[in-house]
Amino acid sequence: MSTTLVRADSRADLVSALAAHGGRVGFVPTMGALHDGHLALIHRARAEVGTSGAVVVSIFVNPTQFAPGEDLDRYPRTLEADLAACAEAGADIVFTPAVAEMYPAGLDGGVTVDPGALGSVLEGSSRPTHFRGVLTVVAKLFGLVRPDVAVFGQKDYQQLALIRRMAAELCLGVEVVGVETVREPDGLALSSRNRFLDADQRREAVVLSRALFAAREDAARGAAAALGAARAQLRTSHVVDLDYLEITGTDLGPAPQSGEARMLVAARVGSTRLIDNIALTLGTQGEN
Protein backbone atom coordinates (compact mmCIF):
# COMPACT_ATOMS: atom_id res chain seq x y z
CA MET A 1 0.00 0.00 0.00
CA SER A 2 1.66 3.21 -1.14
CA THR A 3 0.34 6.64 -0.16
CA THR A 4 1.05 10.24 -1.05
CA LEU A 5 3.36 11.06 1.81
CA VAL A 6 3.65 14.51 3.35
CA ARG A 7 7.00 15.37 4.94
CA ALA A 8 6.93 17.90 7.78
CA ASP A 9 10.26 19.34 8.93
CA SER A 10 8.91 21.90 11.39
CA ARG A 11 6.20 22.17 14.02
CA ALA A 12 4.25 24.51 11.74
CA ASP A 13 4.48 22.05 8.85
CA LEU A 14 3.24 19.27 11.12
CA VAL A 15 0.24 21.29 12.30
CA SER A 16 -0.63 22.07 8.67
CA ALA A 17 -0.30 18.44 7.59
CA LEU A 18 -2.45 17.19 10.48
CA ALA A 19 -5.13 19.80 9.76
CA ALA A 20 -5.52 18.35 6.27
CA HIS A 21 -6.52 14.98 7.70
CA GLY A 22 -9.64 14.06 9.63
CA GLY A 23 -10.36 11.20 11.96
CA ARG A 24 -8.15 9.57 14.53
CA VAL A 25 -4.38 9.95 14.59
CA GLY A 26 -2.04 6.98 14.94
CA PHE A 27 1.60 7.69 15.75
CA VAL A 28 4.82 5.69 15.36
CA PRO A 29 7.90 7.42 16.84
CA THR A 30 11.20 6.15 15.37
CA MET A 31 14.86 7.10 15.07
CA GLY A 32 14.89 6.04 11.42
CA ALA A 33 16.97 3.26 9.83
CA LEU A 34 13.61 1.56 9.34
CA HIS A 35 13.25 -2.21 9.02
CA ASP A 36 10.35 -4.65 8.89
CA GLY A 37 9.78 -4.24 12.63
CA HIS A 38 9.04 -0.55 12.15
CA LEU A 39 6.81 -1.29 9.19
CA ALA A 40 4.78 -3.66 11.37
CA LEU A 41 4.19 -0.72 13.73
CA ILE A 42 2.99 1.46 10.86
CA HIS A 43 0.61 -1.27 9.71
CA ARG A 44 -0.73 -1.61 13.26
CA ALA A 45 -1.22 2.16 13.52
CA ARG A 46 -3.23 2.07 10.31
CA ALA A 47 -5.36 -0.78 11.65
CA GLU A 48 -5.99 1.25 14.82
CA VAL A 49 -7.16 4.43 13.09
CA GLY A 50 -8.68 3.02 9.91
CA THR A 51 -8.61 4.44 6.42
CA SER A 52 -10.20 7.71 7.54
CA GLY A 53 -7.48 8.42 10.11
CA ALA A 54 -3.95 9.74 9.76
CA VAL A 55 -0.80 7.72 10.44
CA VAL A 56 2.15 9.86 11.49
CA VAL A 57 5.73 8.56 11.71
CA SER A 58 8.48 10.62 13.30
CA ILE A 59 12.12 10.16 12.34
CA PHE A 60 14.40 11.82 14.88
CA VAL A 61 17.68 10.58 16.30
CA ASN A 62 17.25 11.92 19.82
CA PRO A 63 20.57 13.04 21.29
CA THR A 64 19.39 13.20 24.90
CA GLN A 65 18.95 9.42 25.14
CA PHE A 66 22.60 8.79 24.26
CA ALA A 67 25.28 9.12 26.93
CA PRO A 68 28.81 10.33 26.09
CA GLY A 69 30.70 7.51 24.38
CA GLU A 70 27.55 5.81 23.04
CA ASP A 71 26.81 5.44 19.35
CA LEU A 72 24.98 8.72 18.59
CA ASP A 73 27.40 9.76 15.86
CA ARG A 74 27.36 6.40 14.09
CA TYR A 75 23.68 5.65 14.55
CA PRO A 76 22.46 4.84 11.01
CA ARG A 77 20.72 7.65 9.17
CA THR A 78 18.92 6.54 5.99
CA LEU A 79 16.29 9.22 5.51
CA GLU A 80 15.52 8.81 1.81
CA ALA A 81 15.06 5.05 2.13
CA ASP A 82 12.99 5.61 5.27
CA LEU A 83 10.65 8.03 3.52
CA ALA A 84 10.10 5.54 0.70
CA ALA A 85 9.41 2.76 3.22
CA CYS A 86 6.89 4.93 5.09
CA ALA A 87 5.03 5.70 1.87
CA GLU A 88 4.97 2.04 0.88
CA ALA A 89 3.71 1.01 4.33
CA GLY A 90 0.85 3.49 4.17
CA ALA A 91 1.94 6.34 6.43
CA ASP A 92 0.40 9.75 5.71
CA ILE A 93 2.84 12.15 7.39
CA VAL A 94 6.50 11.84 8.32
CA PHE A 95 7.77 14.35 10.87
CA THR A 96 11.52 14.92 10.48
CA PRO A 97 12.47 17.71 12.89
CA ALA A 98 15.94 19.11 13.49
CA VAL A 99 17.40 19.03 17.00
CA ALA A 100 16.67 22.75 17.48
CA GLU A 101 13.02 22.14 16.58
CA MET A 102 12.65 19.56 19.36
CA TYR A 103 14.92 21.28 21.90
CA PRO A 104 14.50 25.04 21.40
CA ALA A 105 15.91 25.68 24.89
CA GLY A 106 19.01 23.61 24.08
CA LEU A 107 19.95 20.09 25.10
CA ASP A 108 21.08 21.17 28.58
CA GLY A 109 18.11 23.34 29.42
CA GLY A 110 14.37 23.04 29.67
CA VAL A 111 12.01 20.61 31.36
CA THR A 112 12.67 16.86 31.38
CA VAL A 113 10.65 13.81 32.40
CA ASP A 114 11.95 11.79 35.36
CA PRO A 115 11.34 8.07 34.68
CA GLY A 116 11.26 7.20 38.39
CA ALA A 117 12.55 3.98 39.95
CA LEU A 118 11.71 1.81 36.92
CA GLY A 119 14.10 3.90 34.86
CA SER A 120 17.08 2.98 37.04
CA VAL A 121 17.03 -0.83 36.63
CA LEU A 122 17.93 -3.14 33.72
CA GLU A 123 18.68 -0.74 30.82
CA GLY A 124 18.61 2.16 33.26
CA SER A 125 21.33 0.59 35.37
CA SER A 126 23.66 0.36 32.39
CA ARG A 127 22.50 3.64 30.80
CA PRO A 128 21.47 5.93 33.69
CA THR A 129 20.38 8.92 31.57
CA HIS A 130 18.77 6.94 28.77
CA PHE A 131 15.14 6.82 29.82
CA ARG A 132 15.02 10.45 30.91
CA GLY A 133 15.94 11.30 27.32
CA VAL A 134 13.47 8.81 25.86
CA LEU A 135 10.50 9.94 27.94
CA THR A 136 11.28 13.61 27.43
CA VAL A 137 11.33 13.35 23.65
CA VAL A 138 8.28 11.08 23.53
CA ALA A 139 6.34 13.52 25.72
CA LYS A 140 7.32 16.34 23.35
CA LEU A 141 6.28 14.29 20.32
CA PHE A 142 2.96 13.38 21.93
CA GLY A 143 2.36 17.09 22.57
CA LEU A 144 3.13 17.98 18.95
CA VAL A 145 1.32 15.12 17.18
CA ARG A 146 -1.57 14.79 19.67
CA PRO A 147 -2.18 11.16 18.71
CA ASP A 148 -5.14 9.07 19.77
CA VAL A 149 -2.95 5.97 19.72
CA ALA A 150 0.83 5.51 19.69
CA VAL A 151 2.44 2.24 18.64
CA PHE A 152 5.74 0.85 19.96
CA GLY A 153 7.57 -2.43 19.58
CA GLN A 154 7.84 -4.92 22.42
CA LYS A 155 11.54 -5.47 21.70
CA ASP A 156 12.22 -2.35 23.78
CA TYR A 157 10.03 -3.74 26.53
CA GLN A 158 11.23 -1.51 29.37
CA GLN A 159 10.78 1.54 27.18
CA LEU A 160 7.24 0.42 26.35
CA ALA A 161 6.43 -0.06 30.04
CA LEU A 162 7.77 3.37 30.96
CA ILE A 163 5.92 5.13 28.13
CA ARG A 164 2.68 3.43 29.14
CA ARG A 165 3.24 4.54 32.74
CA MET A 166 4.07 8.11 31.68
CA ALA A 167 0.99 8.35 29.46
CA ALA A 168 -1.24 7.10 32.27
CA GLU A 169 0.29 9.02 35.18
CA LEU A 170 0.61 12.32 33.31
CA CYS A 171 -2.90 11.96 31.84
CA LEU A 172 -1.66 12.43 28.28
CA GLY A 173 -4.78 10.95 26.70
CA VAL A 174 -2.83 8.59 24.45
CA GLU A 175 -3.49 4.87 24.12
CA VAL A 176 -0.10 3.12 23.99
CA VAL A 177 -0.10 -0.12 21.99
CA GLY A 178 2.72 -2.69 22.02
CA VAL A 179 3.46 -4.88 18.99
CA GLU A 180 5.19 -8.26 19.13
CA THR A 181 8.89 -8.29 18.25
CA VAL A 182 9.61 -9.00 14.58
CA ARG A 183 12.48 -11.45 14.08
CA GLU A 184 14.83 -12.67 11.38
CA PRO A 185 14.19 -16.25 10.16
CA ASP A 186 16.84 -17.54 12.60
CA GLY A 187 15.20 -15.73 15.53
CA LEU A 188 17.39 -12.64 15.95
CA ALA A 189 15.25 -9.64 16.86
CA LEU A 190 15.23 -6.98 14.16
CA SER A 191 17.17 -3.90 15.22
CA SER A 192 18.63 -0.90 13.44
CA ARG A 193 21.90 -1.74 15.19
CA ASN A 194 22.13 -5.21 13.60
CA ARG A 195 23.78 -3.56 10.58
CA PHE A 196 26.83 -2.85 12.77
CA LEU A 197 27.50 -6.60 13.14
CA ASP A 198 30.04 -8.25 10.87
CA ALA A 199 29.32 -11.72 9.50
CA ASP A 200 30.87 -13.58 12.45
CA GLN A 201 29.19 -11.36 15.02
CA ARG A 202 25.86 -11.78 13.26
CA ARG A 203 26.16 -15.57 13.55
CA GLU A 204 26.99 -15.26 17.25
CA ALA A 205 24.25 -12.73 18.02
CA VAL A 206 21.49 -15.26 17.47
CA VAL A 207 22.47 -16.88 20.79
CA LEU A 208 20.43 -14.15 22.52
CA SER A 209 17.15 -15.27 20.99
CA ARG A 210 18.12 -18.93 21.39
CA ALA A 211 18.62 -18.29 25.10
CA LEU A 212 15.15 -16.74 25.35
CA PHE A 213 13.50 -19.55 23.41
CA ALA A 214 15.27 -22.14 25.62
CA ALA A 215 13.98 -20.34 28.70
CA ARG A 216 10.44 -20.39 27.34
CA GLU A 217 10.68 -24.15 26.75
CA ASP A 218 11.81 -24.77 30.35
CA ALA A 219 9.59 -22.15 32.02
CA ALA A 220 7.02 -24.77 33.07
CA ARG A 221 9.66 -26.05 35.53
CA GLY A 222 9.96 -22.67 37.19
CA ALA A 223 12.09 -19.53 37.05
CA ALA A 224 15.34 -21.23 38.09
CA ALA A 225 15.01 -23.78 35.29
CA ALA A 226 14.24 -21.05 32.76
CA LEU A 227 17.28 -19.03 33.81
CA GLY A 228 19.45 -22.13 33.75
CA ALA A 229 18.36 -23.01 30.23
CA ALA A 230 19.05 -19.48 29.00
CA ARG A 231 22.47 -19.33 30.65
CA ALA A 232 23.43 -22.68 29.14
CA GLN A 233 22.73 -21.27 25.69
CA LEU A 234 24.67 -18.08 26.38
CA ARG A 235 27.71 -20.09 27.51
CA THR A 236 27.98 -21.54 24.00
CA SER A 237 29.24 -18.18 22.73
CA HIS A 238 32.64 -16.72 23.60
CA VAL A 239 31.90 -13.51 21.71
CA VAL A 240 28.75 -12.30 23.48
CA ASP A 241 29.47 -10.15 26.55
CA LEU A 242 26.38 -10.41 28.78
CA ASP A 243 25.14 -7.29 30.54
CA TYR A 244 22.03 -8.72 32.20
CA LEU A 245 19.64 -11.66 32.03
CA GLU A 246 16.63 -11.35 34.31
CA ILE A 247 13.10 -12.63 34.82
CA THR A 248 10.57 -10.02 35.97
CA GLY A 249 6.85 -9.61 36.23
CA THR A 250 5.04 -8.42 33.13
CA ASP A 251 5.12 -4.90 34.64
CA LEU A 252 8.88 -5.29 35.25
CA GLY A 253 8.29 -5.74 38.97
CA PRO A 254 9.56 -8.79 40.89
CA ALA A 255 9.19 -12.12 39.12
CA PRO A 256 6.09 -14.06 40.20
CA GLN A 257 6.33 -17.53 41.72
CA SER A 258 4.27 -18.77 38.78
CA GLY A 259 2.22 -17.41 35.91
CA GLU A 260 2.97 -14.73 33.33
CA ALA A 261 6.43 -13.19 33.41
CA ARG A 262 9.07 -11.63 31.17
CA MET A 263 12.71 -12.51 30.53
CA LEU A 264 14.96 -9.66 29.39
CA VAL A 265 18.52 -9.86 28.09
CA ALA A 266 21.14 -7.32 27.04
CA ALA A 267 24.63 -8.03 25.74
CA ARG A 268 27.41 -6.64 23.61
CA VAL A 269 28.41 -8.44 20.46
CA GLY A 270 31.66 -6.79 19.51
CA SER A 271 31.00 -3.09 20.06
CA THR A 272 27.26 -3.40 19.37
CA ARG A 273 24.82 -3.53 22.26
CA LEU A 274 21.71 -5.62 21.62
CA ILE A 275 18.60 -6.21 23.72
CA ASP A 276 15.77 -8.73 23.51
CA ASN A 277 13.00 -10.18 25.66
CA ILE A 278 10.30 -12.81 25.64
CA ALA A 279 7.07 -13.66 27.45
CA LEU A 280 7.25 -16.65 29.81
CA THR A 281 4.61 -18.68 31.58
CA LEU A 282 6.29 -19.88 34.76
CA GLY A 283 5.22 -23.17 36.31
CA THR A 284 6.13 -24.65 39.67
CA GLN A 285 7.40 -28.12 38.67
CA GLY A 286 10.88 -27.24 39.85
CA GLU A 287 9.73 -26.35 43.39
CA ASN A 288 9.67 -28.75 46.32
| 3-state SS, residue 222 | coil
Cα 77 to Cα 22: distance, rounded to the nearest angstrom: 31
Among 38, 231, 249, 140, which residue's Cα sits nearest to residue 132?
Answer: 140
Cα dihedral 239, 244, 247, 249, rounded to 10, equals -140
Among 212, 246, 210, which residue's Cα sits nearest to residue 124?
Answer: 246
Active site residue 43: no
What angle, 0 to 180 degrees and rounded to 10, lies between the N-to-C axes of helices 79-89 and 36-49? 40
Bin 43: left if φ > 0, else alpha if -120 < ψ < 50, else beta.
Answer: alpha
What is the C-alpha radius of gyration for the chain, rounded to an integer number of angstroms? 19
Q: Among 38, 43, 130, 238, which one carries the catalytic annotation?
A: 38
Name the burial class of residue 282, with classes exposed (0-12), middle (13-18) and buried (19+) by CB atoms within 10 angstroms of its CB.
Answer: buried
Phi and psi, residue 42, nearest 5°: -65, -45
Interacting residues of 242 by C-beta distance below 8 A, sequence separation 6+: 234, 265, 266, 267
The residues annotated with a catalytic role in the active site are: 38
